Amino acid sequence: MSRHGAVREASALQRRLEALDEARNLAAGVLPQETLDEALQVLDRASSRRSLSAGHTVVGFFGATGSGKSSLFNAVSGAEIATAAVRRPTTSEPLAGVWGAEGSGELLDWLEVPNRHHAAPVPGFADEGTGLILLDLPDFDSTQAAHREIVQRLVGLVDVLVWVLDPQKYADAAVHNDFLTPLASHGAVTLVVLNQLDRLPAHDVRPVLESLKGILARDGLGTVQVLGASAVAGTGVEKVRDAIRQTAMQRQAISQRLAADVARAAANLAAASGTGEAAGAGAAATSRLADELAVAANVPLVVEAVVRSYRQEATRRTGWPVTRWLVRFRPDPLRRLNLRRDGARPELNRTSLPPAGAPERARTDAAVREFADAASDGAPGPWRAVIRGAAREGRERLPDALDQAVASAELKAGRSSWWWTMFNAIQWLALLAALGGFGWLGVLAGLGYLQLPVPEVPRVQGWPVPTVMIGGGVLLGIILAIAAKAVAGAAARARGAAARKRLRSAVAAVAEKFVVEPVEREVGRLASFNKALQSARWISSIR
């Protein structure tokens, strides 16, 4: 493999490892901890293995009792390595045959393989420059729990897995269910050897091999290389050597093994998560949420108070001066709701709106639940629960936040309108005219009472001017009051509409902060998780 190809493969593997780590972090608190821990173990193993010798390929020989695993190990090694250490009981602990001593020590320490044999060169197979480590491992069906633990540990650590089966037990459920099927994603670094072919009649060899391939295909290992061999007769040993040597020389096994581990961990995360994307917070659902919360927050009541308060204040400012003072005895609707700021800091203000009763709480709960259901639509089960949970958590903070939003909204309470001054001035002029007329007539009456000469009163169209002043002033005042009431009604409705818009905007901001944004964060987390998982599960084209 070229140096450029090796760098490219290492870079691709690094991206997949980073994607797996990102997916694991994003799924924290959503998926089972056991699945997350498995992904973390893969990341830790990958980090450790990549920091050790990249010039060595570790090949593990796995097999059941009586499969001839150690004999095949010796035959491939070209020496009786499996019996070289006389203190070692047969297949009780791992033994390493090493070609290329430099850098192998730390790697074997990490693998926890203390028994090491620096093997002699085997022409056409391995020498000091090959960088190859063969491991003869305990039987995976051993009655000793410690032996099985060693096998389970090293199954997850070696670069290449060689499964040695015998013709009598090649279909044994233990090896297929416990090892081969769970490692179906590791076909690129798996070699299956049917050993002890010398025990089969020649005409049975091919059918047995075909039967084994069929079983492996059902295990998900239909592309794995299957070889027949006999360690005793030497049949097929050279083919096993060639397969191992080719793997070692290509220097791809480490990356392929780690990539397979990543794919398996990502597949487990995907299985725990389920598939699908959340619909997210659509504009229609968000608008419905704001509308429902506005009703629950008594926005219609506040708008009505704004309209009534404006009308009342307009009457007090533009009504007939003779009767307008009566309005002062009416309580201001906004003041009763504590919505007239009068210099108070809005962030410290609280309304006197009626507290939310059971119907309002039910309406709020239903609105939040409907929004969460719409936003989580399409999300897999665990993520749907998290999205809904985020909405429920925000729901608990809504009542106080909505009250504060209403209290802080600019309602223009007490703010005058430009036309008030004009109407008020004309009203007072009309009243003064009427009072002037009354005064004029009073003076004339006084003069007559005192038997003094009474001057002639000017007339307009035959009407005495004082009478015209009185009648005109009173009539103008009444007409202005009626006109002002009509104008005030229209202006009050406009101010109410503006208040409704601002209140709804304030309520929508609260909904955005406490419900929409938390839900969108979880929806975005699911999208990022799926994207990271897709990157982690990407299968390298380098095989």
Structure tokens at 116: 């090491």
In whole angstroms, how large is the CA radius of gyration of the chain?
45
Q: How far apart are the first and last CA of the chain?
A: 11
Structure tokens at 287: 């608008």
Hey, is 66 helix, strand or coil?
A: coil
What's the confidence (pLDDT) of residue 85?
Answer: 42
Structure tokens at 470: 């009185």
For 339, phi and psi rounded to 5 degrees? -115, 10
Q: How far is CA 507 from CA 369, 373, 471, in A?
A: 17, 20, 52
**How many whole angstroms separate alpha carbon 30 and alpha carbon 381?**
10
Structure tokens at 31: 């998926």
Domain range list for the chain: 55-250, 285-511
DSSP secondary structure letter of residue 68:
-
Q: Which of 211, 217, 212, 219 is nearest to 176 (CA)?
A: 219
What's the confidence (pLDDT) of residue 61?
Answer: 96
Pair 34, 111: CB distance under 8 Å: no
Pair 394, 514: CB distance under 8 Å: yes
Amino acid, single-letter form, for residue 62: F
Per-residue pLDDT tens for 202-239? 899 999 999 999 999 999 998 999 999 999 899 999 99
Q: Which of 326, 354, 350, 325 is nearest to 338 (CA)?
A: 350
In 88-229 the beta strands, taken as DSSP E runs, fall at 95-99, 115-118, 132-136, 160-165, 190-194, 225-228
DSSP sequence for 402-414: HHHHHHHS---TT
Structure tokens at 131: 């960088």
For residues 276-295, b (16+ Cβ closer than 10 Å) or e, as one string? bebbbbeeebbeebbbbbbe
Hey, is 229 helix, strand or coil?
A: coil
Alpha carbon 370 to chain centroid distance?
19
**How many whole angstroms separate alpha carbon 399 and alpha carbon 515?**
12
For residues 357-380, b (16+ Cβ closer than 10 Å) or e, as one string? eeebeebbeebbeebbebbbbebb
Q: In which residue ranges of the chain is pLDDT below 50? A: 1-2, 84-90, 343-344, 348, 540-543
Q: Which of 15, 8, 527, 35 is nearest to 266 (CA)?
A: 35
- Asked whether the CA dihedral 404, 408, 414, 417 is positive or negative, the reply is negative
Pair 314, 412: CB distance under 8 Å: no
- Asked whether the CA dihedral 89, 94, 100, 106 is positive or negative, the reply is negative
Q: How many residues does the chain have?
A: 543
**How many whole angstroms separate alpha carbon 135 and alpha carbon 77?**
10
**How many whole angstroms separate alpha carbon 173 and alpha carbon 181?**
10
CATH architecture, range 55-250: 3-Layer(aba) Sandwich (3.40)
